Structure 1
């Protein structure tokens, strides 16, 4: 019996889908597919393009019995859904999905997994390799396709794992419609609204306050930088469990006048318009969407050496990369761009050109090819 044109998307939360996947849903809808999603509702539970949404308890930790509940419900959804394709994202939901879909695969359902950055990577703690690597390698045998968004992950998956096929796409895609440069923005007005002096030298970090993003490193580096950049201001856009601790650290270091906590923001474009340097201290990234957005907006970048950041930045060519935990390298990078505006402009221009390969149009085109390998879609069904 031929399966209906129905796809199940599995990910950690509805917010994840809203932020990263709407263009892909539009493409699949244009192919004529009905889309279901299984996520934990952490936002408003409304995802454009999704016809039916299931709310499952996908917690951020492995140490909870709620994952057994999530697995049981997910298996029921998969067994009853008669899906042509199941596309899973993020490690915990993807692990549960591939185990729950064993029966469905025997009946012809294809299972695809997009790795948005494996938790094991060059330089990762041994515990990450000991836990996540064997799990991902084992689960790969229940996966028809693994899609990676950086070359380091692709090399590992294609060389060591047992998935049917492995693919590389240039990131999940930067939506140029959301982050195009707007030269009409009144920069001084935005600074005034944020309570910043007109001559502020602004560092901007867009990241949720979680361990991986390592805000503490940035904060602990600021006192030395401020001594050489008196008009320094640092903007943190994001929320998260570590926000109170970082606010306390800023107060303890007498940096409250320098650091501004902006919370979750939807006006990243405007904030980037007043930014002198976009920074990241992330311990690991699949690609680094925040930096990509800065590059589109002609903002020079300074970030940690990381597999995702290395996709975007060639240090000394279109930005600076500093070693994980190396405050001296971070400080020197910031100060060099502060003292050399011409170099900052050169980096920004080169980044704006390099980032084009990561535009959403390119990622969509690659995913279109991949989907067509596993779906009964002819080129006559090409979306408009």
Structure 2
């Protein structure tokens, strides 16, 4: 969600600098409203209580008509529905929908209509994998384009020294840290991570940090106890210092079953970490096997364990992988994401972007 907000705000700032009229809609009192206020960006509150909020649908329609808005870009499933329904009386307004999850379209009639409706003008998917899923589910190929998520690399130059974190968690200087940053939910599949950890030689000097919170925390902690690996694990819970805590890690890992793109991996690449990951969702689109990362099939704890051990034992390989990733990640800059998104806007409206000549 934070990444989505950053992209939205960056798009808005660029439009503002170029004197292109634009407006951000969001819920009153939301983090998005606060960010817009702090940055002097135009914002209008709309309740958006649910996908069938008729008042919000009418409000969106009225805003579009009043301000002569030519294009709507939605960033959530709820916003997509509201804009689609509002567009029933806005035939000349274009609708672009960002799609960030690699779930199949639900098979109920409404979901099928929602994604196949002619009112959708373009889907921007954050990975080729998501685009493949939309095409498989019957979305018009001519209306789907991949625009990979990107990051701002500036943070990578400002990371704190790992010594502070080593002290906080009482780690020895030479302890190898494997880090996972993800919500503790089913599709992130930390269970496979724990299974892999249980297969690593316990005499090796390593710790696994699981950074994040979620509904499965207790279940994962119990599973770690069952596997007798609790001494190798640290569940940090929710942290406000992501991505700073990446400075503590020697290896980054993501073992998801499903993943839109997995932008936490981009952060890890930017700071020069070697990666061990599954091929869930769009993860494989960012990484190069045996150059900057080791990639395993989803659920393959045996291969993951083998890859962890290789990197734990080989400092030179960790550095080689990390250096490769620092170069490779440059393809995924926030500037590229914004540029390609703006090209999508111009493909519909040309110079008449948002109803104004630019």
Aligned to 1:76: 58
Q: CA deviation at 1:199?
A: 1.9
- Report the Cα offset of residue 283 of structure 1: 1.3
Give the Cα–Cα distance (whole angstroms) in 2 for the partners of residues 164 and 130 of structure 1.
Answer: 22
Residue pair 2:211, 2:239 contacting (<8 A) in 1 also: yes
- Which residue in the other structure is 2:103 paired with? 119
SS at match of 1:268: coil
Of 176, 187, 212 in structure 1, the residue corresponding to residue 187 of structure 2 is 212
Whether 2:164 is the aligned partner of 1:180: answer no
In structure 1, what is the Cα distance between the partners aligned to 2:109 and 2:7?
23
Contact 1:278/1:301 (8 A) holds in 2: yes
CA contact (8 A) 1:226 1:232 kept: no
Q: Alpha-carbon deviations, 1:71-120, whole Å to 9, x = none? A: x233122221123222112334424432342222x2x2111101113313
1:254 and 1:40 map into 2 onto residues whose CA distance is 47
- In the alignment, which residue of structure 2 is the partner of 1:250? 224
Aligned to 2:112: 135
SS in 1 for 2:298: coil
Mapping of 1:281-292 within 5 angstroms? 281-292=255-266
Question: Is 2:125–2:131's contact at 8 Å kept on the other side of the alignment?
Answer: yes
Could you say what secondary structure the match of 1:279 adopts? strand
TM-score (norm 2): 0.85
Question: Relative contact order, CA 8 A, sep 6+: which one is greater?
Answer: 2
Residue 192 in 1 paired to residue 170 in 2?
A: no
**Compared CA separation, residues 358 and 92, structure 1 to 2 (3 A):** same
Pick closer, same or farther for the CA change 1:17–1:150 going to 2, 3 Å.
closer
Counterpart position of 2:297: 323
Q: Root-mean-square deviation (CA), in Å?
A: 3.0
SS in structure 1 of the partner of residue 163 of structure 2:
helix
Q: Is the contact made by 1:143 and 1:163 (CA closer than 8 Å) also made in structure 2?
A: no
Quick check: 1:141–1:164 contact (8 Å CA) kept in 2?
Answer: no
Match of 1:162 in 2: 140
1:339 aligns with 2:325: no
Cα distance between partner residues in 2 of 1:28 and 1:289: 24
Query: Is contact 2:26-2:43 (8 Å) kept?
Result: no
Tell me if 1:37 matches 2:25.
yes
Answer whether contact 1:236 1:262 (CA < 8 A) is retained: yes
1:272-322 CA deviation, whole Å, 9 max, x = no partner?
122111000111222110011000100000111134111111212220111
Deviates more, 1:308-317 or 1:249-258: 249-258
Report the CA distance shift for 1:138/1:345 in structure 2 as closer, same or farther (over 3 A): same
Q: Distance in 1 between matches of 2:223 and 2:57?
A: 45
In the alignment, which residue of structure 2 is the partner of 1:377?
353
Q: Which residue of 1 aligns with 2:208?
A: 234
Q: Secondary structure at the match of 1:86?
A: strand
The SS at the match of 2:34 is coil
How big is the shift at 1:247? Answer: 3.1
Match of 1:21 in 2: 8
1:53 maps onto 2:22 in alignment:
no
Counterpart for residue 75 of structure 2: 89
CA distance in 1, matches of 2:103, 2:28: 21
Query: Secondary structure at 2:240's aligned position in 1?
Result: coil
Cα distance in 2 for residues equivalent to 1:302 and 1:29: 40
| 1:350/1:246 CA distance change after superposition, 3 Å | same
Change (3 A) 1:136 1:258: farther
For the Cα contact (< 8 Å) 1:17–1:47, is it kept in 2? no
Structure 1 unmatched ranges of 5 or more: 1-12, 59-66, 121-127
- Aligned to 2:282, the other structure's residue is in SS state helix
